[in-house]
Amino acid sequence: MRLISRTQAIAAKRSVLWTLIVRDLRVRYSRSVLGYVWTVLDPLLMSLIYFLVFVYIFKRGDIGHRPYFLFLVVGLLSWQWFSGCLTDTSRALIQESKLVRSTNLPREIWVLRVVFSKGIEYLLSLPVLVAFTIIYFAKGDTHLNGWLVLFPFAIVVQAVALTGLGLLLAPVTALVTDMQRVIRIFMRMLFYATPVIYASHVVPKPYDKVTWLNPMTGILEMMRAGFFSHEGKQAISWGAIVASLVVSVLLLLIGNAVFGRLERAVLKEI
C-alpha cells in the first residue's frame, strides 16, 4: 500500500524533516520584533472582538459555552493552525520548487514540514489557553472535567486532517495556480461554516448534520469537551466527533492517492 511505503520512506528521512521544520520556525521569526507573541496575539485580539460584539453589542452570550471568551480562545487558536496550514501547504511545492526537483527526498516531506511547524506554533500557544483556564477556574466560572483527555487526541486528528488536505491541495495548486485565490475565498467562507465563534448545538436541525462533514466540527468539540459542562442541549456531540475521525482518515487516504497520481506532472510543471 502506497501510504505505508511513503510513511516508511519519510520515517527514514525524519532527521531531514526535523531540520526543515526548525528552519521554517527560525526563518518565520528571524526578522520579527515580537516573534512568538504574534502566534497568540492575533487569536487573542480576534477573541476579544467577537466577545465584545456578541456579548456586549448583540447580547448573545448563549451562542457558545460559558465563559464565552475561553470558548473563543480554544476555537480561534485551533482555527489559526488550520487556516494557516492550509494556506501554506497549498503553496508548499511551488515555494520550494528548486529543492523539490533537485533533492531525492520523499516529496510529501514538503507538506509535512508545514503541518508540523504550524503544529509546533499551536503547541507554543497553549500556555495562553492554560493561563485563561486557571483564571476562570479560580473565579469559579469554569469547571474542568475528565473529557480533557480528548484534547491531545483532537490535536492528532487535526494533524491527520491537515496532512490529507495538504497532500491534496499542494499538487493541485502547483498545476493550477488559481487555486491559491480559490483557497483564500474558501477559507473565509469555511470560518463561518465552522463552530469557531458558536457552538455546534446552536446549528438548527437537520443542518447540524451537514456541519459534521467539516472535520473541524468534531475536532473543536473534542478540544472544548473538558473545559465546559455538558447539560441539556450543550451535551457533547459524539456524532460530530465520530464523523471528524472518519473524514480525517478519508482525507489522508484521498490526499495520498492524489499526491501520488499528480507527482510526476507536478515535477514537469515546476
Short-list 70, 24, 23, CA closest to 51: 70
Predicted local confidence at residue 213, as pLDDT: 92
The Cα–Cα gap between 249 and 263 comes to: 21
**The total number of residues written for the chain in this structure:** 270
Q: How confident is the model at residue 35 (pLDDT cuts 50, 70, 90)?
A: low
Statement: residue 168 has pLDDT above 80? yes
CA angle 183–43–193, rounded 5-degree value? 45
Q: Is the pLDDT at 152 greater than 70, yes or no?
A: yes
206 compared with 217, residue with greater pLDDT: 217
pLDDT tens-digit map of 233-257: 678 889 999 999 999 999 999 999 9
As a whole number, mean pLDDT of residues 143-164 equals 94
The span from the CA of 79 to the CA of 74, in Å, is 9
DSSP codes of every residue in 83-116 = HHHHHHHHTHHHHTHHHHHHS-S-TTHHHHHHHH
* Mean pLDDT of the region 72-78: 94
Summarize the confidence of residues 37-54 as an average pLDDT. 84
Report how far apart, in Å, the C-alpha atoms of 25 and of each of 55, 163, 173, 263 are.
36, 18, 23, 26
DSSP string of 145-156, one letter each residue: -GGGGHHHHHHH
Residue 33 has what pLDDT?
55
CB 94 within 8 A of CB 176: no
Contacts of residue 127, defined as CB under 8 A and 6 or more positions apart, other chains included, come to: none
The per-residue pLDDT of the chain, averaged, comes to: 89
- Quick one: what percent of the chain has pLDDT higher than 70? 96
Written as nine digits, the cell of 44 is 487573542
